[in-house]
Structure 1
Amino acid sequence: MTASSPSLWLRLQRLSLVTQIIIGLIAGIALALFAPEVAKSTAFIGKVFVSALKAVAPILVFVLVMASIANHKHGQETHIRPILFLYLLGTFAAAVVAVVASTLFPSSLVLATHDVAITAPGGISEVLQSLLLSVVDNPVSALMNANFIGILAWAIGMGVAIRHAGDTTREVLGDLSNGVTLIVRLVIRFAPLGIFGLVASTLATSGFGALIGYVHLLAVLLGCMLFVALVMNPVIVFWKLRRNPYPLVITCLRESGITAFFTRSSAANIPVNLELSKRLGLHEDTYSVSIPLGATINMAGAAITITVLTLAAVHTLGIAVDIPTAILLSVVAAICACGASGVAGGSLLLIPLACSLFGIPSEIAMQVVAVGFIIGVLQDSAETALNSSTDVLFTAAACLGEDEKAQRLA
């Protein structure tokens, strides 16, 4: 090697972030295969990365949303309404896909007693009440507990109020937003190392042995998620943009879905999605609100999980399902998914709500939740990847679609 040749470290730095993440992924798999004991010790690296993302996400959302609204000028276009429509349409469509797949490929469970101490919501009204209470949560508590509904409510309120403040105040808020964004970019640069630790420790500790007995159920779940990601979502985006949707779909899956798959938290992936939205050239006033909102209510993967596991219990117990009930289940799953937490395993806690539609007692429903935790190594990762990548996808589709419509009318 000549003196002028770049070092290996410099070559790695020149690679794109996605390429670096793939290298970290391969290295993690290799370490878990050939040195599992060493791989287990890398769990700390993954925990630090996820904790850093979770730490910056609440303050980033609060400051960015507040600054965007405070500095929003009259006459600037935002596209929140069409994004909300796409979020709801995508979540309901995912539930319908799960109903169809579960009908065509019914799954059976071995339901036994599992000692799982979990408190699940008692009804849809309780979920809605919880969402309303989240809106009026104490702002300090909302920031401490990563309650993004409460954070959004306070950020919007403060942003509207500060719009009437002096130019200096709004400039300071804008500078604060830029400062937090720089910190987030620094954290994201460590994604390859964090994913290396997550992959190596997870494979070395859990492996895939626990999943063998649930291959069929996993196949239905993952098949539904792949169908929604590669067929249903592109159809929705094509309807909005009227052009080939796959370049945008693949970009969102590659740059958002990969990190979400391993962090297993929509909330932790908010900084990644905000950065991707900026690179896509979307409206900051729009994505600074739609991305954190999507991490809370855009839950296609959660709707699939709730529906498939519920219908697996229904099939196991021999309960007949007619078309009206299936439609009602899709609606309930979509509503429940919107109330799912933005953390790992959040959707599983809402399965008893859907099970109650069929008169399934909570004792059996909680056994289904336990099955969900067993297969969660893959199910929750795939669910989060679909949820989080779709946040950026629908935000981009709405922004680009409305911009093109305005250009045609001009």
Structure 2
Amino acid sequence: MKFKIGLIWRIIIAIALAVGLGILIPKIHEGFGDWFVSLFATFNMIFGGFLNFIVPLIIIAFIAPGIAKLGKGSGKLLGFATVIAYASTIVAGIFAFLVASTVLPGFIDGIGSAGIDNAGRAPGEAFFELEMTPVMGVMTALIFAFLFGIGMASIGSKSLLAVFDEFNVLIEKVITYVIIPLLPIHIFGIFLNMTYTGEVGKVLSIFAMVFVMIIILHLLMLTIQYTIAGSLSKRNPFMLMKTMAPAYFTALGTQSSAATIPVTLRQARETGASKRVTDFTIPLFATIHLSGSTITLVSCSIGVMLMNGSPVEFAKYLPFIFMLGVTMIAAPGVPGGAVMAATGLLSTMLGFDESMVALMIALYMAQDSFGTATNVTGDGALAMIVDKFTKKVDGIDSETDDDPEQVAL
């Protein structure tokens, strides 16, 4: 049996090695230390340039087919389920902003921009510069994706959708076989430089604080979702959460909402939601409901901005949260896909530079599985809510009618 180290552990190992070598190398030979750090600064420059180049392509590959496939649903059920999922994602983002912007400033106060000002470039700088100009800007890619996604949905284009589906597969393979494997090296270079410049201790302490806060926010969000679902169905919300626990722990291992669908579907049925609703909504929610990932992205980005000394403003974050709910469509199929899809928004809407994006990716990846687990566990609560309201609207006994095409039109 082939042994494989998971991405989270590879990132942890990379950070540990970077800290260890960053402390050890200057004691052995300072000149070699400058050269060694510059070597990884060169790698970071190339990798960061490639990441900037591919971000618009990621946006198109994820969003266009994702929006097009939303048009393949069934009337009222699709519309109501989509609104509920999007609302849950937005509420989660606002909730995360309110908590993170209140808690983190007091903890990070005094660190300022020292933690990451030099993270992207070593003291000796990269050995050379290599420019990789993206084929289009992030906003252009978003407009392109929306235009083609909505267009394909409205005309029911199968041939054009097949092209975008294949493009999606191609980009997913680039993420899976190029970006994800190289991420630990990129993060190694970032933390090597921070250790070399004496700032890593502060950054790691902030990482730990943000990590703990995010897990608490995830659990609070699930409690809110199941309290609402339990109130509507007159069932104990904590017993419902216990019923969905297998989906949570499966997602921790798979790091993919899509891969966890069979377990989520089985457990959602055990909550009492009808088969006709769960069979339709659970696969849909695996694609469009991202409350856990949104909490993580918003919280991590606030942490990185505060480390950089940047102001955190609700007026700037609200549009960012609204765009996240759309930009991450179809991203859950790829471990770490959500943060990859959000990279463009971080740069254009929040002003992140390459070093800030790198730290953001490291923060996100360290707990990606927890965000995914929160996404899929919340899907069960949303399925119960949709079941309750569509039952009232349609006037149908959901327990006996299993055909979503008939009940939703």
Does TM-score exceed 0.5, indicating one fold? yes
Shift of residue 138, structure 1, vs aligned partner: 1.2
User: Structure 2: which amino acid aligns with 1:251?
Assistant: T
Q: How many residues align?
A: 276
Shift of residue 144, structure 1, vs aligned partner: 9.5
* Matches of 1:368 and 1:316, distance apart in 2: 10
Q: 1:290 aligns with which of 266, 278, 281?
A: 281
Partner residue, 1:380 = 368
Q: 1:217 aligns with which of 203, 210, 216?
A: 210
Would you say the 8 A contact 2:346–2:357 is kept in 1? Answer: no
Secondary structure of the structure 1 residue equivalent to 2:333:
coil
Partner residue, 2:96 = 98
After TM superposition, the structure 1 = structure 2 runs for residues 131-280 of structure 1, keeping only pairs within 5 Å, are: 136-138=160-162, 145=169, 214-230=207-223, 232-238=224-230, 240-241=232-233, 244-252=236-244, 254-280=245-271
* Matches of 1:368 and 1:45, distance apart in 2: 19
Secondary structure of the structure 2 residue equivalent to 1:344:
coil
Instruction: Provide Cα deviations, 1:59-96, integer angstroms capped at 9, x if missing partner.
Output: xxxxxx9xx99xx9xxxx97333322220111001101
Shift of residue 320, structure 1, vs aligned partner: 2.3
* Matches of 1:391 and 1:147, distance apart in 2: 26
Shift of residue 216, structure 1, vs aligned partner: 0.8
Shift of residue 245, structure 1, vs aligned partner: 3.1
* Matches of 1:398 and 1:218, distance apart in 2: 32
Instruction: Provide Cα deviations, 1:108-161, integer angstroms capped at 9, x if missing partner.
Output: 58321289x99999535524644665764318955993999xxxxxxxxxxxxx
* Matches of 2:349 and 2:298, distance apart in 1: 11
Secondary structure of the structure 2 residue equivalent to 1:105:
helix
Partner residue, 1:81 = 79
Q: 1:126 aligns with which of 132, 137, 141?
A: 141
Q: Structure 1 residues 328, 355: CA separation in 2 closer, same or farther (over 3 Å shift)?
A: same
Q: 1:389 aligns with which of 373, 377, 385?
A: 377
After TM superposition, the structure 1 = structure 2 runs for residues 28-39 of structure 1, keeping only pairs within 5 Å, are: none
User: Structure 2: which amino acid aligns with 1:113?
Assistant: G
Shift of residue 226, structure 1, vs aligned partner: 1.6
Percent same amino acid among aligned pairs? 19
Partner residue, 2:305 = 314
* Matches of 2:233 and 2:275, distance apart in 1: 20
Q: Structure 1 residues 319, 147: CA separation in 2 closer, same or farther (over 3 Å shift)?
A: closer
Partner residue, 1:113 = 120
* Matches of 2:305 and 2:221, distance apart in 1: 23
User: Structure 2: which amino acid aligns with 1:91?
Assistant: T
The reply to whether residue 403 of structure 1 matches residue 398 of structure 2 is no
* Greater mean deviation of Cα atoms: 139-148 or 363-372: 139-148
Give RMSD over aligned pairs: 4.3
Would you say the 8 A contact 1:270–1:295 is kept in 2? Answer: yes
Q: Structure 1 residues 328, 275: CA separation in 2 closer, same or farther (over 3 Å shift)?
A: same
Q: Structure 1 residues 355, 140: CA separation in 2 closer, same or farther (over 3 Å shift)?
A: closer
User: Structure 2: which amino acid aligns with 1:246?
Assistant: F
Would you say the 8 A contact 1:124–1:336 is kept in 2? Answer: no
Q: 1:338 aligns with which of 316, 325, 329?
A: 329
Would you say the 8 A contact 2:243–2:271 is kept in 1? Answer: no
* Matches of 2:6 and 2:272, distance apart in 1: 32
Q: Provide structure 1 residue ranges, at least 5 long, that are not aligned to the other structure.
A: 1-39, 47-64, 149-209
User: Structure 1: which amino acid aligns with 2:318?
Assistant: I
Q: 1:347 aligns with which of 338, 355, 379?
A: 338
User: Structure 1: which amino acid aligns with 2:336?
Assistant: G
Would you say the 8 A contact 2:226–2:381 is kept in 1? Answer: no
